[in-house]
Amino acid sequence: DAGVIQSPRHEVTEMGQEVTLRCKPISGHDYLFWYRQTMMRGLELLIYFNNNVPIDDSGMPEDRFSAKMPNASFSTLKIQPSEPRDSAVYFCASSFLGQGSMDEQFFGPGTRLTVL
Amino acid sequence: ILNVEQSPQSLHVQEGDSTNFTCSFPSSNFYALHWYRWETAKSPEALFVMTLNGDEKKKGRISATLNTKEGYSYLYIKGSQPEDSATYLCAPSGSARQLTFGSGTQLTVLP
């Protein structure tokens, strides 16, 4: 398995532009998580899905952020409009809860977002 | 959101030294405790997931213990090697299963 795939790996955009980050979880995993890593706040959970349904989005910073999971193999995190303070590394992770699972989360390589 | 504290924040040891770090978390509403290893420019990788009080897990030279009653976990590295240099994150989860990550312990092993 290729692991969790994220695209793009790097994104540089200007303030006010829309940004879309993409994630493909590991096949068979039923949980998908979006995290943001910053120097100030460390690794923080933004939102997570179970079987494509959003379960908890309380970590989403504000209405400019939205996330979708239209099917089991794809999720997006959108920021519209983007602001310089959104600059961070965004990680996607997936896991499954079932027999033989230790419930560990497998992280993608991250998307480094820079908003100028 | 759980209050997770890790100590020390950073640590420098000589190759061959053994070391340990601490993770403290609220003992109420506990479901599991995860340890992750995060190398610079890479993604966090799961080391251990522990759920029961008194659990001990081991992977090579790295081991971890869990005390859910008092809310702490220790991570031990025996005979540290330069390739052990990384940030070690702990993350407890409550009944809702989402993880709350600590700020991590940054370990540097000097050759």
Convert the pLDDT of each residue in B11-70 to its tens digit.
Answer: 999 999 999 999 999 988 888 999 999 998 899 999 999 999 999 999 999 999 999 999
For residue B98, what pLDDT is reported?
81
Mean pLDDT of chain A: 93
What is the rounded average pLDDT of the residues A52-76? 94
Judged against a pLDDT cut of 80, whether residue A82 lies above it is answered with: yes
Contact B32 A103 (CB under 8 A): yes
Query: CA torsion angle for A91, A97, A102, A104 (degrees, to 10)?
Result: 0
Whether the CB-CB separation of B93 and B34 falls below 8 Å is answered with yes
Convert the pLDDT of each residue in B53-83 to its tens digit.
Answer: 999 999 999 999 999 999 999 999 999 999 9
Judged against a pLDDT cut of 90, whether residue A84 lies above it is answered with: yes
B62 at A interface, C-beta within 8 A? no
Please report how many Cα atoms fall inside a 13 Å half-sphere around the Cα of residue B96, on the Cβ side: 14
B50 at A interface, C-beta within 8 A? no
Nearest CA in chain A to B42: A109
- What's the gap in Å between the CA of B90 and the closest CA on chain A? 11
A-B CB pairs within 8 A amount to 40
User: How would residue B85 be classed by pLDDT, with cut points 50, 70 and 90?
Assistant: very high
Mean pLDDT of chain B: 93
A40 at B interface, C-beta within 8 A? no
For residue B1, what pLDDT is reported?
53
- The strands making up A5-7's β-sheet, listed across from edge to edge, are A5-7, A19-24, A74-79, A65-71
CA separation for the pair B35, A105 (Å, rounded):
11
Q: What percent of chain B has pLDDT over 70?
A: 96
B31 at A interface, C-beta within 8 A? no
